[in-house]
Structure 1
Amino acid sequence: MEGPFFLRSVLVVLVAVAGVYFIDRRRQQQKHALLPPGPPGSPHARYPPRLIQSWIEQYGPVISLRQGNDVLVIIGRHSEATQLLEKQGACFVDRPHSVAGSEILGRGMRFMLLSTCDRLRRFRKAAHTHFQPKATLAYDADQTSFARNIVIDLLDDPDSHQSHVKRFSGSVTLRVIYGKTTPVSLTEDPCILHLKRMVPVVQGALLPGAYKVDHFPILRYIPWYGRQLKKWGEEEYKALTSWLSQYKSQMMTDSGPQGTFTEQETAYFLGSLVGAAFDTTQVAISTIMMAAARFPEAQAVVHAQLDAVVGREAPPTFAEWASLTELQAFVLEALRWRPVNPFGAPRRASKDVFLVNSQNGYCIPAGATVFGNHWCIARDPDVFPNPDRFIPKRWIGPDGNINSDLKAYSFGFGRRTCVGSNLAIRSLYIASVTIFWAFRIREDVKRPIDDTAFCTWDRIAPKAPRMNVAHLREVMGTLGKAA
């Protein structure tokens, strides 16, 4: 009797397993049938911004690419980004699991790649404490002094303007995060040298299809797989723990994160902030300078308001910020025209999300990787008419102030908005206003700018200063020469 009973039991189990499998498969097929339309292609491939823009124009504001059960969803219009990533942002807080970028390069502690967990909550709480608007005011004097150093550096070596901007970004970042007070050198400072080497590595690891280990995690346990990746991970760990040890005495201990973080968590928390701030700030300032060179008429409008509000005797400070609406609009338009991160940062849908305004009932399935594509969103013609034209005035309302109804997403969306955005905005302002006040920026006529290449900021140059050089050097030193 045991034989037939055993066979019947096995048969029942097999039927049950098969039933669950086919029900789940049917459910997945139904969900995939509700996916937003999109072109044929792999969700793991890399696609240039203008190609994605053409897909958005062809298929609609939200598109998808699918391969098996892997789904990539790209949001390319302003209203859909607001609806999904802002109003329903709780469904898109998580990041896609990244073995290469998070685990191998970050030991599971890289702030920007964490999904919902206790560590993310503690990291965000610490970051919000230190980067809330009132807290960032404490760094005004440092940012102002570092910005004035850019002018001195440009007077001494105008051809190396990108390096001067990087030094500004590195100086602010290391001062705020680590309390570093010694001068920053792009060619000798260990922190800067490591950042210049590792930031592209981490960014590359996050691109779709960059490493097979993200799709086959077992590969990380194979000794000969990803040797260079693992070497970079060890190098990152040693650098971050070394920086923490080196600068610990200069950091604020009473209000710092050490009380709730382990030593390793503190190292990766601070290192994540440094890596993100150093790269994005210098790229944003270079983009603003490139826009000034490409659009001299718009630059002239900023100069006219600077002369009226600030004058030419003393350099600008944060006190004039609210009155310099033309500069604010110019910066907003530059970051819309050429977003710092055209692709956006990846999210992971934590549950099925249906598109509210979709007549076809389109659904973003749980587990899908979701991008709010900054390049396409910033070119939504319904929000930004003539999107390929550089029009700073679009950001100024009828009352002459910045139009608060026009939402810029330069720093991300919803709960994953850049935690350091308050500090970053102040850095962009003081660096830009100081450079504009001191110089007119022109295009190198011998090497015209290809502003679609995303890497041609070396083809601009400050013209002769807008005032006497001796006077300029004198007033730029009024706060003292900083690092």
Structure 2
Amino acid sequence: MGTGTILLVVFLLVVLYYARNVGSRPKDYPPGPPTLPIIGNLHLMPSKHPHLQFKKWADEYGPIYSLVIGTNVLIVISSGAVMKELLDKRSGIYSSRPNLYVGQHLLSGGLRMLLMEYGKTWRRVRGTVHDHLNVKAAKSYVPYQDLENRNMLIGFLDDPKRWRDHLRRYTFSLTTQMIFGFRCTNINDPKMHQLFDGFAEFSEAINSPAAALLDAFPFLQYLPAALMPIKKRAMQLHEKERDLYVGHWLNVKKAIQNGTANPCICVDLVNSQNTDGFSDNLAGYISGSLLEAGSDTTYATLLGFIQAMLLFPEVVEKAQDELDRVCGDSIPTLEDEPSLQYIRGCVKESLRWMPTAIMGVPHAVIQDDTYRGYRIPKGAGVMWNVWGIHYDEKQFPSPHIFDPLRFADNFQSSAEATLNPDASKRDHFQFGAGRRVCQGMHIAERSLYLGIARLLWAFDIKKGKDENGVEITPNPADLTEGLLVQPKPFPVKIVCRSEKRAEILRTEWKKVEDKLDVNGQWEKIPEGMFFKEYKPL
């Protein structure tokens, strides 16, 4: 036997030795479904509606179980109490992200804050963002929210068939004002639609079976794109997304340096770039990530709310009774919120009933840990199964029913509920946990309140009809696929409740429209905004 042959045999023996346990579940891991050699549980991973299968596994294996996916392990948390113990109380080691090849490297160029691993860059970016999205700063954006909400209501009044686009413009324009300093005034704006459509493609691609395969067996990442079409598609999506995000950034950066930009979050990013050396690509993705987060999730939650109103018309009746009693013929404001507990319940129930981050965004543990006698290995992905928790009968009885009264005695804000040491008192788990908790929850909660309260005060939401005049009842289980989901399109009939309410809407819009210039932009930015000043080099 020649030397080359001996070396080949030794190499194969070494490979077989290290691969002998690939796909198997060590006895000290949390329980889970039976595995197969090499692939583990990969063959069991559902290609559609994975939240349903993950809930079944939770019912069978308990509030913490494990899935072995090729060379990787995923710990799945399906209990608020376990989530509190690990992701909150042990956040120092549970706040990283798995190394997602397709999601972070190909789709995002390693720049997306949402998927960034825990480290110096993430902490620096997080600190900059926190300055602008904390409780104090969030309150200063109320004039933006009020303006965009009134504009949305006029859209519902004048062109109800485009109600989805009015919702999109509402959440998008609010976010562009905070981040870039300009309003989106047109529901046909191509950059707005590119954001929503592009993010939907990103969400679907990152959760695709092909993406999971490349993470499970990293050696496949070296295959050419011709053999792995997901690679070519992901790089194309990234190129389009980068052009959008960096384009927005470079435009506002130039305006800031020229002194022609309105106050906005990007002013602080320009300052950070001057002192910390942020690249334009990273700054573009920081601002772009904030844009997608502030636009898409609130929009999707409002979609879910409108669908719920078609399925549970008794909620519309109760909500409108409360609104008429408290507000009468005055448009609801944030000052009315303490007196509108049923509406507050609608907001909380919307976030629970149809969570857009349906299985959360996986964390990763940065060192070996033990919990309840189970070993959780360093590098393991840790998923908080939002759907599984929200549809746990023990915490939320009759979970498929949209019932705002389940929060009749819950007077917490989302932030307060997130910090509540008793996980059973938390209203929903949509905004995450630990150091990865959503920083924009204060803003999102106000946008949802204004959207829900004013839409129900002004409009009736009714089922659409088919060509034969038969009402169409949407199926709440018919959701888009991906990391973030939303109801698939369904018909709705939007009708203003009275001519008087329509007149009031126009009067209320006129009050703020007079503060805008001919292009629909603020003539003068409202006072009290929480923005920093530009400090040129």
With the shorter chain as reference, the TM-score category is: 0.7 to 0.9
Work out which of the residue numbers 38, 52, 64 in structure 1 matches 2:33. 38
> Residue 450 of structure 1 corresponds to which residue in structure 2?
475
Q: Is the 8 A contact 1:335 1:410 kept in 2?
A: yes
C-alpha displacement at 1:112, in angstroms?
A: 0.4
> Residue 428 of structure 1 corresponds to which residue in structure 2?
448
Alignment of 1:214-293 (within 5 A): 214=215, 215-216=217-218, 219=221, 222=224, 224=226, 226-248=231-253, 249=255, 250=261, 251-252=263-264, 255-256=268-269, 258-259=271-272, 260=276, 261-293=278-310
Report the AA paired with residue 286 of structure 1.
L
Structure number with greater CO (CA < 8 Å, separation at least 6) is: 1
Work out which of the residue numbers 314, 325, 334 in structure 2 matches 1:308. 325
Work out which of the residue numbers 395, 407, 411 in structure 1 matches 2:431. 411
- Partners of 1:322 and 1:399 lie apart in 2 by 9
Report the AA paired with residue 38 of structure 1.
P
Q: Is the 8 A contact 1:161 1:461 kept in 2?
A: no
Alignment of 1:17-96 (within 5 A): 31-38=26-33, 41-42=41-42, 46=47, 48=49, 49-96=51-98
Q: Is the 8 A contact 1:39 1:55 kept in 2?
A: no
Secondary structure (helix, strand or coil) at the match of 2:210 reads coil
- Partners of 1:124 and 1:217 lie apart in 2 by 32
Give the paired residue count.
463
Q: Is the 8 A contact 1:64 1:73 kept in 2?
A: yes
C-alpha displacement at 1:327, in angstroms?
A: 0.7
1:203 aligns with 2:216: no
> Residue 108 of structure 2 corresponds to which residue in structure 1?
106
Q: Is the 8 A contact 1:39 1:65 kept in 2?
A: no
- Segments of structure 2 that go 5 or more residues without pairing to the other structure are 1-9, 36-40, 256-260, 418-424, 466-470, 480-486, 521-537
Q: Is the 8 A contact 1:438 1:467 kept in 2?
A: no
Report the AA paired with residue 367 of structure 1.
G
Report the AA paired with residue 370 of structure 2.
F
1:377 aligns with 2:403: no
Q: Is the 8 A contact 1:444 1:460 kept in 2?
A: yes
Identity of aligned residues (%): 26
Q: Is the 8 A contact 1:444 1:459 kept in 2?
A: yes
- Partners of 1:479 and 1:362 lie apart in 2 by 58
1:377-432 deviations in Å (ceiling 9; x for gaps): 00122211222222211112289999953342121122111122121112111122
> Residue 524 of structure 2 corresponds to which residue in structure 1?
none
- Segments of structure 1 that go 5 or more residues without pairing to the other structure are 1-13
Q: Is the 8 A contact 1:35 1:362 kept in 2?
A: yes
Q: Is the 8 A contact 1:411 1:417 kept in 2?
A: yes
C-alpha displacement at 1:46, in angstroms?
A: 3.6
Structure-2 change in CA distance of 1:240 and 1:376 (3 Å): same
C-alpha displacement at 1:25, in angstroms?
A: 7.8
Structure-2 change in CA distance of 1:293 and 1:478 (3 Å): farther
- Partners of 2:172 and 2:461 lie apart in 1 by 23
Task: Decide which moves more: 333-342 or 455-464.
Answer: 455-464
- Partners of 2:25 and 2:232 lie apart in 1 by 41
Secondary structure (helix, strand or coil) at the match of 1:428 reads helix
- Partners of 1:450 and 1:276 lie apart in 2 by 26
Structure-2 change in CA distance of 1:287 and 1:23 (3 Å): closer
Relative to the length of structure 1, the TM-score reads: 0.86
Q: Is the 8 A contact 1:170 1:184 kept in 2?
A: no
> Residue 186 of structure 2 corresponds to which residue in structure 1?
185
Q: Is the 8 A contact 2:64 2:82 kept in 1?
A: yes
1:471 aligns with 2:471: no
- Partners of 2:126 and 2:367 lie apart in 1 by 22
Relative to the length of structure 2, the TM-score reads: 0.78
1:460 aligns with 2:461: no
Task: Decide which moves more: 436-445 or 147-156.
Answer: 436-445
Q: Is the 8 A contact 2:22 2:70 kept in 1?
A: no
1:10-47 deviations in Å (ceiling 9; x for gaps): xxxx9xx98xx979988997845433223553176545
- Partners of 1:135 and 1:270 lie apart in 2 by 17
Report the AA paired with residue 283 of structure 1.
A
> Residue 150 of structure 2 corresponds to which residue in structure 1?
148
